[in-house]
C-alpha cells in the first residue's frame, strides 16, 4: 500500500500539517523540520498526490492546446513545438481537437477552464478573444495562433499568410501562368489571407483568379474538387492551381495524374505549409513554407512568459516570414 502523509509524519516525528506545509508551502518550515520530512519521504518512497494538491490550490501546473484540425500534418508540427516548450518548463500539456466546429471549440475552452489549467494556446475557428479575455480576468492566460483584434490580455503569434499568398502568385506569374484557381476554406481566416495575397500579386497583370471553396482542407477535399476541375472543357481549365494547404494540393495532383493531366505542363500546382508530404509526392510540390514547429514553440513560450509576469504589457507580435520552396510541380524536372 502506498505511503500516506500520515506515514511520513509518523516517521519524521512531526504533525501531518507540517508534512503538508513541506509539500505545499516549504518556505514556512525551518530547516530542521524540512530535513526530517525530506528524509522520511525518501525512506518511504512517498509520492505526493499532485492532482489533489492542485485541486486544493485552485489551479494546476498545466497548459492546454486547442487545435483547429488535429489530423492535418501542419498541426502535428505546431503541437510538437508547444509540447516541447511546455515540457522544458516543467508544465503538463493537455490537447483537444475542435475539428472545425465552433460549438466543439467553445466546449473545449469551457472544459479547460473547469480543469483549472493556467494557460491555453489555441488555433481557433472563430473569434474567441472576448471569451479568452473573460478567462484572463479569472487568471487563465491565452495565446492565439493567428491574427486577433488588439487585446490587453490575450497574446498572439502570427504568420504572414498574405505574404505567402503573394509569393505563390508572383511565382505563378513568373512562369507564365495566367488562369489561376485558388482552393480554400472561407471559414478559415488564414485561407482568406492567402487568397488576398494571391490577388495582390496579380493586380495590374492580365492574370485572372477564380475561387473554388473546399470545406475542410483535406486530401479528400482535393480529390473531390479535382473532379470538378476535370469536368470543365479543356480550354476552360486553369493553367495553375494554388491550394490553401498542401493536403488539398496533393489530393488534386493525385486525381489529375490519374486522368492523364500533366503536372506542371498543363496545370502547375502550389500548396501551402510545406509539410513532409510535399516533397514526397509523386511530383514534388512547390509550397509556401510555414514553420509549424517554430510557431508552436513561439506560442508556448509567449504563454509561459505571460504566466511568469501577468502584469507585463504584451509585446506586439512579429509575424513569421513566408518562404516559397520551388519544386517540380511548377517548374518541372
* Mean predicted confidence (pLDDT) in 251-269: 98
Mean pLDDT value across residues 138-167: 95
Sequence-separated contacts (24+) of 173-176 with Cβ below 8 Å: 173/201, 173/202, 173/205, 173/207, 175/264, 175/268, 175/330, 175/331
- The alpha carbon of residue 138 and the mean position of all alpha carbons in its chain are separated, in whole angstroms, by 24
273-323 pLDDT per residue, tens: 999 999 999 999 999 999 999 999 999 999 999 999 998 889 888 899 999
Spatial contact of 248 and 214, defined as CB atoms under 8 Å apart: yes
- Is a pLDDT exceeding 90 seen at residue 227? yes
Average pLDDT of the chain, as a whole number: 92
Which pLDDT tens digit goes with each residue over 24-65?
Answer: 666 677 888 888 988 998 888 787 665 555 545 555 689 999
Give residue 56's pLDDT.
Answer: 52
Question: CB neighbours of 57 closer than 8 A, spacing ≥ 6?
Answer: 24
The residues, ordered by sequence, that sit 6+ positions from 105 with a Cβ below 8 Å of its Cβ are 66, 98, 122, 124, 125, 126, 128
**For strand 154-157 and strand 141-145, is the pairing parallel, antiparallel, or unpaired?**
parallel
pLDDT average, residue stretch 102-117: 91
Measured CA distances, 132 to 154, 187, 206, 252 (Å):
7, 20, 45, 37
Encode 2-17: b = buried (16+ Cβ within 10 Å), e = exposed.
ebebebbbebbebeee
pLDDT beyond 70 at 262: yes
DSSP 8-state symbol, 319 = P
pLDDT at 1: 66
pLDDT for res 46: 81
Structural domains in the chain? 5-48 (no CATH), 62-159+292-318 (3.40.50.2300), 161-289 (3.40.50.2300)
**SS3 (DSSP) at 219:** helix
Please report the pLDDT score of residue 26 as a whole number. 67
pTM score, whole prediction? 0.79
208 confidence band (pLDDT: 50, 70, 90): very high
Amino acid at each position: 500500500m502506498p505511503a500516506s502523509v500520515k506515514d511520513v509524519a509518523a516517521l519524521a516525528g512531526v504533525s501531518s500539517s507540517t508534512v503538508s506545509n513541506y509539500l505545499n508551502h516549504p518556505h514556512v518550515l525551518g530547516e530542521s523540520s524540512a530535513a526530517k520530512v525530506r528524509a522520511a519521504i525518501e525512506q518511504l518512497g512517498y509520492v505526493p498526490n499532485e492532482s489533489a494538491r492542485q485541486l486544493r490550490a485552485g489551479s494546476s501546473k498545466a497548459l492546454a492546446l486547442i487545435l483547429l484540425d488535429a489530423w492535418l500534418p501542419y498541426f502535428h508540427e505546431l503541437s510538437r513545438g508547444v509540447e516541447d516548450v511546455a515540457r522544458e518548463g516543467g508544465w503538463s500539456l493537455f490537447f483537444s481537437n475542435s475539428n472545425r466546429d465552433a460549438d466543439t471549440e467553445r466546449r473545449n475552452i469551457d472544459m479547460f477552464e473547469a480543469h483549472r489549467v493556467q494557460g491555453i494556446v489555441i488555433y481557433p475557428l472563430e473569434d474567441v478573444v472576448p471569451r479568452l479575455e473573460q478567462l484572463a480576468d479569472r487568471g487563465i492566460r491565452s495565446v492565439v495562433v493567428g491574427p486577433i483584434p488588439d487585446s490587453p490580455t490575450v497574446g498572439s503569434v502570427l504568420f504572414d499568410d498574405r505574404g505567402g499568398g503573394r509569393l505563390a502568385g508572383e511565382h505563378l506569374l513568373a512562369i507564365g501562368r495566367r488562369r489561376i484557381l485558388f482552393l480554400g476554406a472561407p471559414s478559415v481566416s488564414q485561407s482568406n489571407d492567402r487568397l488576398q495575397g494571391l490577388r495582390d500579386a496579380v493586380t495590374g497583370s492580365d492574370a485572372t483568379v477564380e475561387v473554388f471553396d473546399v470545406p475542410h482542407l483535406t486530401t479528400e477535399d482535393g480529390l473531390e474538387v479535382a473532379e470538378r476541375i476535370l469536368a470543365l472543357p479543356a480550354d476552360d481549365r486553369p493553367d495553375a492551381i494554388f491550394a490553401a494547404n498542401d493536403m488539398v494540393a496533393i489530393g488534386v495532383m493525385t486525381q489529375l495524374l490519374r486522368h492523364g493531366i500533366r503536372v506542371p505542363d498543363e496545370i502547375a500546382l502550389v500548396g501551402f505549409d510545406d509539410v513532409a508530404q510535399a516533397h514526397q509526392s509523386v511530383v514534388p510540390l512547390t509550397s509556401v513554407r510555414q514553420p509549424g514547429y517554430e510557431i508552436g514553440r513561439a506560442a508556448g513560450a509567449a504563454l509561459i512568459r505571460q504566466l511568469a509576469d501577468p502584469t507585463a504589457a504584451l509585446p506586439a507580435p512579429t509575424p513569421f516570414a513566408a518562404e516559397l520552396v520551388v519544386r517540380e510541380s511548377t517548374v518541372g524536372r
